[in-house]
């Protein structure tokens, strides 16, 4: 039996971030190191935003990705990810999904929300877009896992995109989820 | 475009170099040190349908990076990857290193082409 963390794409590849969002050249090492220290294998999930709106996409909020077309796109990816999780669970592996707080797609308990955002992409600096909730992809993934009877799969998230990011707090929170608490 | 810390280098990496076992070695510390991002390829034991879909995703990611002039490279072998890339008109350089030291040297030697544009965006 192995312990396997399904991580958001950008945790191994910051090049996938919206322009201005990459905090390191490629691999976000704090998460990789923490997972490795605790004996977890890593499986990277695809980035739903990169293959939908591309590298030159604007910073967006959840409402802008909450369309039928984007949900269809997410479900296509989710089908493969859930299939992979299913294959691991059949082998008796332990699974954790690691998202990115604040993301309109990959947020686990914090997403970004602004029902009025649209049009020419100019908005006030520091606009209060963070809001409780899941990103669209994580919501679709959880729905598919529930449908397959895997509602018990645990979730965690990194916080490096949040203004009050605290690396030690992020580390402790992930450690708790990895321990199953 | 906002400027950020991205390296504009992306490696498509076989699973055995991300989750090494047996004779494999861990490529992530080397790639991190050299400033490369990773697109991890589906483990070889995955069911065919799942693997095919994940490889299609990996190829679509690579296509988007290629379209913007990012440096791309395959590390290791994964059955079905070349076909998935070819369907999108992509053919990428490949390294099959036998050690972390060899990978480090080959990345340093620049066996993959440099990014064709400064994808980090304009300076302030």
**pLDDT of B50 higher than 50:** yes
Best interface-test mutation with A: which of B3, B4, B34, B120 has the largest number of A CBs within 10 A? B4
Residue B18 covered by a domain: yes
Best interface-test mutation with A: which of B11, B25, B48, B54 has the largest number of A CBs within 10 A? B54
Residue B71 covered by a domain: yes
A104-122 pLDDT per residue, tens: 999 999 999 999 888 888 7
pLDDT value of position B101: 96
pLDDT value of position A128: 75
* Domain, as residue range, for B17: 9-95
User: Which residues of A, range 106-135, sit inside 8 Å of B by Cβ?
Assistant: none
Contacting A with CB below 8 Å, chain B residues are 1-10, 18-19, 28, 31-32, 35-40, 42-43, 45-47, 49-50, 53-54, 57-58, 60-61, 64-65, 67-68, 70, 119, 121
Residue B17 covered by a domain: yes
Write down the mean pLDDT value for chain B: 90
What's the whole-number mean pLDDT along residues A32-37? 95
CA nearest to A48, candidates A19, A22, A16? A16
Query: What three-state secondary structure class fits B11?
Result: strand
DSSP per position, A150-176: -TT-EEEEE-TTSTT--HHHHHHHHHH
pLDDT value of position B109: 81
Among candidates B8, B28, B57 on the partner chain, residue whose Cβ is nearest the Cβ of A80: B57
Residue B70 covered by a domain: yes
Report the CATH number at residue B69: 3.40.50
Q: What is the 3-state secondary structure (H, E, C) of A25-56?
A: CCCCHHHHHHHHHCCEEEEECCCCCHHHHCCC
Number of domains in chain B: 1
Residue A163's pLDDT band (boundaries 50, 70, 90)? confident
Q: Is A44 in Cβ contact with B38 (below 8 Å)? A: yes
What's the whole-number mean pLDDT along residues B113-119? 60
- The share of chain A scoring above pLDDT 90, in percent, equals 88
Instruction: Give the integer Cα–Cα distance in Å for A160 and A171.
Output: 11
Residue B101 covered by a domain: no
Residue B116 covered by a domain: no
Q: Is the ipTM of this complex over 0.90?
A: yes
- The share of chain A scoring above pLDDT 70, in percent, equals 97
């Amino acid at each position: 039996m192995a312990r396997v963390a399904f991580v958001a794409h950008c945790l191994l590849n910051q090049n996938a971030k919206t322009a201005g969002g990459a905090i390191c050249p490629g691999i976000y090492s704090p998460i990789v190191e923490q997972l490795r220290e605790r004996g977890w294998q890593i499986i990277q999930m695809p980035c739903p935003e990169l293959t939908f709106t591309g590298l030159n996409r604007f910073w967006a909020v959840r409402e802008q990705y909450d369309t039928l077309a984007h949900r269809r796109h997410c479900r296509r990816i989710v089908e493969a990810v859930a299939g992979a999780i299913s294959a691991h669970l059949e082998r008796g592996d332990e699974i954790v999904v690691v998202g990115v707080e604040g993301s309109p797609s990959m947020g686990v308990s914090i997403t970004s929300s602004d029902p009025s955002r649209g049009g020419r992409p100019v908005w006030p600096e520091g606009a209060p877009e963070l809001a409780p909730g899941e990103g669209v992809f994580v919501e679709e993934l959880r729905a598919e896992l529930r449908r397959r009877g895997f509602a018990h799969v645990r979730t965690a998230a990194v916080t490096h995109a949040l203004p009050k990011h605290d690396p030690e707090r992020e580390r402790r929170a992930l450690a708790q989820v990895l321990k199953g608490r | 475009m906002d400027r950020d810390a991205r390296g504009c280098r992306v490696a498509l990496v076989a699973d055995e170099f991300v989750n090494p076992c047996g004779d494999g070695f861990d490529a992530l510390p080397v790639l991190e040190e050299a400033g490369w991002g990773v697109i991890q390829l589906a483990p070889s034991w995955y069911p065919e349908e799942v693997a095919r879909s994940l490889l299609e995703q990996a190829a679509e990611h690579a296509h988007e990076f290629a379209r913007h002039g990012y440096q791309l490279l395959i590390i290791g072998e994964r059955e079905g990857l070349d076909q998935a890339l070819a369907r999108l008109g992509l053919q990428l350089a490949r390294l099959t290193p036998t050690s972390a030291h060899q990978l480090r040297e080959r990345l340093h030697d620049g066996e993959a082409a440099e990014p064709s544009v400064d994808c980090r965006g304009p300076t302030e």
